[in-house]
Amino acid sequence: MPVMQLLDPAFARELEALRRRLRVRARSGAGGDHLARRRGGSAEFLEHRPYAPGDDLRRIDWLAFARTGEPVFKLFRSEEDVVVRLLLDVSKSLTAGEPSKLAVGKKLAASIAYMALADSERAQVMTASDGELRTREPTRGRASLPNILRELDALKPHGGTDLTAAIDAFVQRSVRPGMLVIISDFLDPGPFDQAITRAAAAGNDIALLQVLAAEEIDPPYEGDLALEDAETGAVVDVTVDARAVDAYLARLAALVTVLRELAKRHRATYVRVSTREALLPAIRRFIARSVDA
C-alpha cells in the first residue's frame, strides 16, 4: 500500500482540524508540550498559594511578597511529554474484509500518529502477532511522520492473535505510562480484558479500536460449511442458517459488550469500525473519547 494512501492530503487536513481536540488522560512523568492536569512547572500560571518550607524559592512571587509582606508561592500548569503508543494487531485474521481489516487498522494508526506528532507528542508503533510484541522507537515531530507511515505500510499479516501476551509484554516493558491505542478485531479467545485492566492500572490511557469486516458483522454464508480459521487453520463444521447466524451474532454482541464494559470501567475509549465504513467518523468518535454502543 503506498504511503499516500494511508494518509492523503484531504484526509490530513481533516485530521489537522481534529488534532487540537485530542486529549490524553495519561501521565508520562516527563516534561513536554502536552498540558497535564496536575500542577507543575511550565510557563502557564495557574494560581498562588502560601509558601511552605521546602518550596522552591525560585517560584516565590517576590512582587506579591513586596505588596503583601507574605511569601506567596506561584503555581504553574505542568506540561508533560505524552507518548501515544499504537498497538496494531497484525495477525492473519486481519486479512479479511474489503478493504482488509489490516488496511483499515493501518489507516487508523496513521491518523492517530499524525495527530499526535502534529501535537508535538511522541508516537510509537507496536505490532502484535502470535503474542509477540514488536516495538519501534518513539518519534516526535511532523518530520518523523513519513517514517511511521513507511513502518505501517511495510506491515504484513502473519501469525495468530494473542493480545493478552502482547499487552502484558507492553506493560512489562513500558517505563512511563501513556496513551495505549489498541487496534485489533479482538477476535481472541484469550483473557485480553484482564491484560487491558493491568495496562490501565499502570496509568495508561486506553483506547480500544475494534476493526471488523463486513462479513463478520453480517455473515453472508449459508448452507453446510466447513469454516477454516485464517490464523490456525482449524475447521469448524457449521450449518449456517438463520438460527446459526443469530447465535453467531449473539456471540459477537457479547464480545462487544465485554469491550464496552471494559472501556467504561477504565474510562477508556471504545470505537468499533467496519471495513466498509468511512474512517473520519470513527476518528471523530475516537477524538471524542466515546464508547460505541
Partner 1 sequence: MSGLELLNPRGLWLLTAAVPLIVFYVLKIKRQRQAVPSTWLWAAAERDLLAKHPFRKLIAEVPLVLELLAIALLTLALARPAIRGGTIAGDHVAIVVDTSASMGTASHAPGAAAGATRMAEARAAALDVVFALSPGADAILIDAGREARVTSPLERDVRRLRVAIQSLSVNDVEGDLGAAVALAADRLRTLSGGRRIIVITDGALAHPAPLAPAGVDTQVITVGDAEDNTAIVRIDVRQGEDPSTKREQAQVFALVRNYGARPVDAFLTLTLEGRTEPVTSRRVLLPANERVPVVLTFEPQETDRGKGIVVQLSPGDALPLDDVAYGRVPAGERMPVTLASQAPYSWVARALDADPKVVLQRLTVDQLSTVNVDPDALVVVEGACPDKMPGHDVLIVAPPVGDCLGLGVLAAVDQPQITSWETGDPRFRFLTLDGVHVARALPLRTEGPGAALVRAGNETLVADASAFGLTMTLVGFDPGESDWPLKASFVLFVRNVVEIARLHRAQGTVGPVRTGEPLRIVVPRGVTSLRVDGPGMAEHELTAKGGLSIIPSVDRAGFYHARWSAPHIGEALIAANLTSELESDVRPRAVVLEAAGGSASAPTARRTVDAHHEWATAIAVFAALILALDLVWLTRRARPRLARTEASPQRARP
Q: Number of residues interacting with partner 1: please give it, by CB under 8 A.
A: 51
Which of 75, 217, 279, 288 lies at the binding interface for partner 1 (CB under 8 A)?
217
Q: Are strands 179-184 and 83-89 parallel, antiparallel or unpaired?
A: parallel
C-alpha cell at 121: 507528542
Site track for partner 1 across 106-145, x = CB under 8 A: ----------------------------------------
Query: How far apart are the C-alpha atoms of 169 and 191, rounded to whole Å?
Result: 14
DSSP code for 88: E
- Residues between 237 and 266 with contacts to partner 1, criterion CB under 8 A: 237-239, 241, 243-253, 255-256
Query: How far apart are the C-alpha atoms of 126 and 59, rounded to whole Å?
Result: 40
Query: How far apart are the C-alpha atoms of 203 and 26, rounded to whole Å?
Result: 6
Cis bond upstream, residue 99 (ω within 30): yes
CB of 219 to partner 1, least distance (A): 8
How is 256-282 classified by DSSP, letter by letter? HHHHHHHHHHTT-EEEEEETTS-HHHH
Nearer to partner 1, 75 or 240 (CB): 240
Site track for partner 1 across 147-186, x = CB under 8 A: --------------x-----------------------x-
Instruction: Choose the stretch contacting partner 1; rule: CB under 8 A; options: 25-33, 114-122, 144-152, 233-241.
Output: 233-241
CA neighbor of 104 nearest in space, from 119, 90, 121: 90
CB of 258 to partner 1, least distance (A): 11
Position 205 contacts partner 1 (CB under 8 A): no
Position 187 contacts partner 1 (CB under 8 A): yes
Query: How far apart are the C-alpha atoms of 258 and 163, rounded to whole Å?
Result: 15
CB of 48 to partner 1, least distance (A): 52
Position 231 contacts partner 1 (CB under 8 A): yes
How long, in residues, is the chain?
293
Query: How far apart are the C-alpha atoms of 117 and 140, rounded to whole Å?
Result: 6
Position 222 contacts partner 1 (CB under 8 A): yes
Which residues bind to partner 1, rule: CB under 8 A? 92-97, 101, 161, 185, 187-189, 213-218, 220-232, 234-239, 241, 243-253, 255-256
